[in-house]
């Protein structure tokens, strides 16, 4: 598979002793995805890396994705975040997520090609729909070190006609055989996330082999305590997202030191 970096789109800045580079990657099918690479300053030798996939409408500039990439780089981990092609082209995701797998495959191939990346220490993360794609990538690539599911999809409320029905579990459908996974997996969600109700997540994970950790914060599917646009909750929402990012980062560091 050929991965093309569109060099004429490159833009670099320095934030918190890390370098941020914006560029485009061309996928196997010829579509372009936007990406941003966060590189720790003064890298010596090869270091760990993480690839972070956004949600269906939760793009790479939104807090959970952006802050996790920034935090990783501050911890001497190269991080790459990107947008789905369907998002930047105002389309919709493919029904079987095959195009999104291609998007993430192209991003992963680019990340692996970087000279300072330790290919034995590459991690993947995904938000919502991105968590489903990240899991697909994780299962297909046994060399990947660990997986981070941010607000995964384990609850559904609609039938095939779009009519709202009583909530039912979809964890096994979205993440088949997750409980059999031997590599480290960490899950982060809010206690009021209607797309992954904690009780349904716990029920799904009750037969896991014990290598899956879970952190539940207050908040909804965006990790907000109240609606994100509620000005009276702005500071509390931001603090909640930061706590989620810090905890996910903590688990990343634990998995790297085992």
Does residue 77 have a pLDDT over 90?
yes
**What is residue 163's predicted lDDT score, i.e. its pLDDT?**
86
Across 223-239, average pLDDT: 84
In the chain, the number of structural domains is 1
CA distance 168 to 109: 36
Q: Quote the domain boundaries for residue 217.
A: 4-256
Cβ(66)–Cβ(81) below 8 Å: yes
**What is residue 7's predicted lDDT score, i.e. its pLDDT?**
34
Across 210-232, average pLDDT: 87
- The bridge status of strand 185-190 relative to strand 18-26 is unpaired
State both tokens at 182.
């031997």
**In CATH, what number is assigned to the domain containing residue 143?**
3.40.50.1820
**What is residue 9's predicted lDDT score, i.e. its pLDDT?**
42
CA R_g for the chain = 18
Does residue 36 have a pLDDT over 70?
yes
pLDDT digits (tens, 9 = 90+) for 45-71: 999 999 999 999 999 999 999 999 999
State both tokens at 238.
């931001």
CA distance 41 to 144: 24
pLDDT digits (tens, 9 = 90+) for 122-172: 999 999 999 999 999 999 999 999 999 999 999 999 888 778 889 999 999
pLDDT digits (tens, 9 = 90+) for 173-198: 999 999 999 999 999 999 999 999 99
């Amino acid at each position: 598979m050929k991965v093309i970096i569109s060099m004429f789109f490159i833009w670099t800045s320095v934030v918190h002793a890390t370098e941020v580079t914006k560029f485009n990657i061309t996928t196997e099918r010829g579509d372009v995805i936007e990406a941003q690479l966060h590189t720790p300053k003064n890298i010596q030798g090869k270091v760990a890396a993480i690839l972070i996939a956004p949600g269906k409408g939760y793009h790479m500039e939104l807090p959970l994705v952006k802050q996790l990439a920034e935090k990783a780089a501050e911890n001497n981990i190269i991080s790459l975040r990107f947008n789905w092609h369907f998002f930047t082209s105002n389309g919709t995701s493919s029904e079987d997520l095959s195009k999104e797998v291609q998007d993430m495959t192209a991003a992963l191939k680019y990340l692996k090609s970087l000279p300072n990346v330790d290919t034995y220490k590459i991690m993947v993360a995904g938000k919502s729909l991105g968590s489903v794609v990240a899991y697909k990538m994780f299962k297909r690539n046994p060399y990947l070190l660990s997986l981070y599911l941010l607000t995964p999809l384990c609850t559904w409320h609609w039938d095939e006609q779009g009519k709202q029905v009583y909530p039912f579990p979809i964890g096994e459908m979205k993440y088949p055989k997750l409980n059999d996974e031997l590599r480290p997996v960490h899950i982060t969600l809010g206690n009021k996330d209607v797309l992954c109700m904690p009780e349904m997540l716990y029920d799904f994970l009750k037969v896991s082999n014990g290598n899956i950790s879970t952190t539940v914060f207050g908040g909804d599917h965006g990790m907000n305590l109240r609606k994100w646009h509620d000005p009276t909750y702005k500071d509390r929402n931001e603090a909640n997202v930061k706590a989620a990012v810090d905890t996910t980062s903590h688990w990343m560091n634990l998995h790297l030191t085992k």
